[in-house]
């Protein structure tokens, strides 16, 4: 098992790693998300994404990006901790972060073979799909575990306390 901190990479370093892996003939899958409050749905999703390729890169929205997308009270877990939690998963090979609302610039830079999103996304609206398909890659949606979401967990905790 690799050490967690060795899985967390800055974008430029990850670009070089991705290039090296591609030269070695490895396929790279890429996914992204907020991953605020890890739950079974996240774990299953990342395990299934990892099965699609030799390497799985997970890009995590920065705290400011999560606030813009989810609201002023999010994230509950800060970026550094969310990155460490996702890096601790066996299914995850590398973790990075991004400050924009979408990972488009990262997708263009890393050029993954497979772009993975949850089935809540319409395939035609997946950010970066056209980029990945332009060089022969593909975009894949994976089913979600019904009833699993960070927002639902947060609401449930709020009702309890």
**pLDDT of 119-137, one tens digit each?**
888 888 899 999 999 999 9
Q: Domain with 12 in it: what CATH number? A: 3.40.50.620
**pLDDT of 17-67, one tens digit each?**
999 999 999 999 999 999 999 999 999 999 999 999 999 999 999 999 999
pLDDT of 1 reads 58
Report DSSP letters for 48-108, one per residue: HHHTTSSEEEEEEE-HHHHHHHH-TT--SS-HHHHHHHHHTSTT-SEEEEESSSS-HHHHH
Number of structural domains (the chain) is: 1
Measured over the CA atoms of residue 113, residue 117, residue 121 and residue 126, the dihedral's sign is negative
**pLDDT of 56-100, one tens digit each?**
999 999 999 999 999 999 999 999 999 999 999 999 999 999 999
Name the nearest CA neighbour of 32 among 66, 75, 72.
Answer: 66
- Full residue range of the structural domain in which residue 80 is found: 4-160
pLDDT of 27 reads 98
CB 38 within 8 A of CB 81: no
Name residues whose C-beta falls within 8 Å of residue 17's C-beta, 6 or more positions apart in sequence.
9, 94
């Amino acid at each position: 098992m690799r050490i967690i901190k060795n899985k967390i990479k800055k974008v430029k370093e990850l670009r070089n790693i991705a290039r090296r892996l591609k030269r070695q003939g490895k396929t790279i899958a890429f996914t992204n998300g907020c991953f605020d409050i890890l739950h079974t749905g996240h774990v299953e999703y990342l395990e299934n994404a990892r099965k699609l390729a030799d390497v799985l890169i997970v890009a995590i929205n920065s705290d400011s990006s999560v606030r813009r997308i989810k609201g002023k009270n999010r994230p509950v877990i800060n970026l550094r901790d969310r990155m460490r939690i996702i890096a601790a998963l066996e299914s995850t090979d590398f973790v990075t972060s991004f400050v924009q609302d979408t990972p488009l610039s990262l997708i263009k830079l890393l050029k993954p073979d497979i772009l993975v999103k949850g089935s809540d996304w319409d395939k035609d609206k997946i950010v970066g799909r056209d980029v990945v398909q332009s060089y022969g890659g593909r975009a894949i949606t994976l089913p979600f575990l019904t009833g699993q979401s960070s927002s639902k967990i947060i609401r449930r905790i709020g009702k309890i306390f």
